[in-house]
Structure 1
Amino acid sequence: MSGVSQWPELAWGDWAATADTLHMWTQIVGKTRLALTPLQNHWWNVPLYVTARGLGTSAMDYGDDVLDIEFDFLAHELHLRMGSGGTQVMKLKARTVADFYEEYLGCLKELGVSVKIDPMPCELAKPVRFDLDTEHASYDPEYVHRFWQVLVHAEKVFRAWGTGFLGKVSPVHFFWGSFDLAVTRFSGRPAPPRPGADKIQREAYSHEVISAGFWPGNGGFGTAAFYCYAAPVPEGLAEAKIRPDGAGWDKALGEFVFKYDVVRALASPEEAVMEFLESAYGAAADVARWDRAALERR
């Protein structure tokens, strides 16, 4: 199969309404994970993970039982499963967030799960409570499936990239707040406090990081892209030149960007993304004076 067929077209304008709706649904499930798991450094207890069929929570303790929840983007269903055998299934289809939220809470109740979920979405400019959101109501199964395919390919490259680092590195997470797939490397040094940081940011950026990921174009960017950034941003990073051709610094975002449409047109998207990750990380680590000899596998 060619790179184009393996990495499907994912023009933001063609599925933005679906993505915005799915974003809210993943937040609802993600907030369940937040409520049922103990805090780990940098909120590592709350993300979702790429699965063989979609996105899932992994097992969450509930009393003497366990619960996992998975978005199945092949059958287009949401599965809620208890270790003791109880199951509930919701159809993923065009419906309002409010309707999804009501049925979801009903499924938890049927399973005997009582959990307090904050109904206000996170990390949005103009959030609307889940139970009041009748605006977001789109679901295009073809584009949701394409999105999952991209996540599968991206996660494979991100995991491979992580093997070259001996320092602290995160799992490959899907963050439902920002609706992106990400992996993060740490220098091991504490970071200075971020001006105006909220509780989420203070925990996420308590230490120096270089983070890379993929997001589909939400948040106003308008096109799917891979990214890489350093926090805090070291002086001089914007002037660094990175590889491959087509990747570079985005002044508005303050990070390196490699647009997905450029990636998928190449002979080997996997090799191009890996080159981007290595080059952008190397530029950031050098400018920030990370101890690369100690942190990297040679």
Structure 2
Amino acid sequence: MTGTEPTRRLRAWPALRVDDWTPTRETLHMWTQIVGKIRLSRAPLVNHWWQVTLYVSPRGLTTSAIPHAAGSFDIEFDFVDHRLHIRSSDGRTRQVALEPKPVADFYSETIGALGELGIPVQIQAKPNEVDPAIPFAEDHEHRSYDAAAANLFWQQLVAADRILHEFRSRFTGKVSPVHFFWGAMDLACTRFSGRTAPQHPGGAPNCGDWVMVEGYSHELSSCGFWPGGGAEGAFYAYVYPEPEGFADYRIGPREAFYSRDHRQFLLPYEAVRTAEAPERALLEFLDTTYEAAAELGHWDRSALEADPGRWNHKHRIHNPWEVEP
């Protein structure tokens, strides 16, 4: 390892103990729910609720373009300058400061900024998948914002997003975008076998069972990262429905394990961060847990998987869209 590699790896895989930023994490969770629900109120339904998610951006988390009557708009959490940017396709913008403030104030300021842009919004103004679910306008409990911690969390997401996109590229079947879902505050990518699944029983706190029925309508293998499950967060992988033997399937790397409480495999973030080759360690976890789901679930792997390097022999062409002379 060269002298610059440890520093480069530290930047690419930063350390952030969950216990050190829990108040900020809980506040940010509520803020992302508000922004996610704004997208939900405007975007037409896409299977498995894919229209409501956020995406990792070079500055933070973004909604991407959201349609409205006069055009479109987007909302982005900027964890570099610590601003919430709201941009309309008519060229107008508004900002909300990301700083210590109650959820009630963030909610009021965000809805007010949209109103100033001529984008009235009505949402179900209380959080999902948490208990208790304090209405946003009444939440003065969650008010912390540690800017340095928020930036480090975003850098963790950037690292995870990069590898999840590589993992996604190996699948030609139905597969979700790599997205940040504000319900559980996790970054996820989900592959599907192509078959329908038994109706999901639901049970998430303050969330209608029908929401889970839509999300889990087809057999799936899901993986991702969330700021829990380990001292610095954890990567996870689960399958629905879970086939017999899944929990006992041999996976890697050695630090990964099956959690009976969560009913999923977990790999502590710190195990990846401190690995000699973090990217390889994470891909081993993603590949072997998917293999467990696909093999035990009898997926048609030959029809669903592909080599993302299948055109590498053509890379001598400067522009891949040009015809080779």
TM-score range, shorter chain: over 0.9
How far, CA to CA, are the matches of 1:140 and 1:196 in structure 2?
34
Q: Which residue of 1 aligns with 2:242?
A: 233
Q: 1:203 aligns with which of 204, 214, 232?
A: 214
Q: Which residue of 2 aligns with 1:256?
A: 265
Gaps of 5+ in 2: 204-208, 308-325
Q: 2:182 aligns with which of 176, 183, 204?
A: 176
Deviation at 1:270, TM superposition (A): 1.0
How far, CA to CA, are the matches of 2:46 and 2:227 in structure 1?
26
Q: How many equivalent pairs are there? A: 296
Is the CA contact 1:192–1:206 (under 8 Å) kept in the aligned structure 2? yes
Gap change, CA 1:123 and 1:131, over 3 Å in 2 = same
**Aligned amino acid, residue 201 of structure 1:** M
Is the CA contact 2:177–2:189 (under 8 Å) kept in the aligned structure 1? yes
Deviation at 1:10, TM superposition (A): 1.4
Q: Which residue of 1 aligns with 2:94?
A: 88
Deviation at 1:64, TM superposition (A): 2.7
TM-score by length of 1: 0.97
Cα RMSD after superposing both structures: 1.2
Percentage of pairs with the same residue: 49
How far, CA to CA, are the matches of 2:10 and 2:246 in structure 1?
32
Please give the secondary structure, in 1, of the residue aligned with 2:51: coil
**Aligned amino acid, residue 214 of structure 2:** E
Q: Which residue of 1 aligns with 2:305?
A: 296
How far, CA to CA, are the matches of 1:185 and 1:173 in structure 2?
13
How far, CA to CA, are the matches of 1:157 and 1:264 in structure 2?
13
**Aligned amino acid, residue 173 of structure 1:** H
Please give the secondary structure, in 1, of the residue aligned with 2:187: strand
TM-score by length of 2: 0.89
Question: Deviation per CA, 1:108-133, whole angstroms, max 9, x where unpaired?
Answer: 11111111111110111211000000
Deviation at 1:176, TM superposition (A): 0.6
Please give the secondary structure, in 1, of the residue aligned with 2:276: coil
Match status 1:275 vs 2:284:
yes
Is the CA contact 1:92–1:139 (under 8 Å) kept in the aligned structure 2? yes
How far, CA to CA, are the matches of 2:113 and 2:303 in structure 1?
49
1:67-146 aligned within 5 A: 67-146=73-152
Greater Rg by CA: 2
How far, CA to CA, are the matches of 1:18 and 1:115 in structure 2?
26
Structure scoring higher RCO (CA < 8 A, sep ≥ 6) equals 1
How far, CA to CA, are the matches of 1:5 and 1:70 in structure 2?
22
How far, CA to CA, are the matches of 2:56 and 2:236 in structure 1?
18
Gaps of 5+ in 1: none
Q: Which residue of 2 aligns with 1:14?
A: 20
Match status 1:26 vs 2:37:
no
Deviation at 1:192, TM superposition (A): 0.8
Large movers: runs of 4+ above 6 Å: none
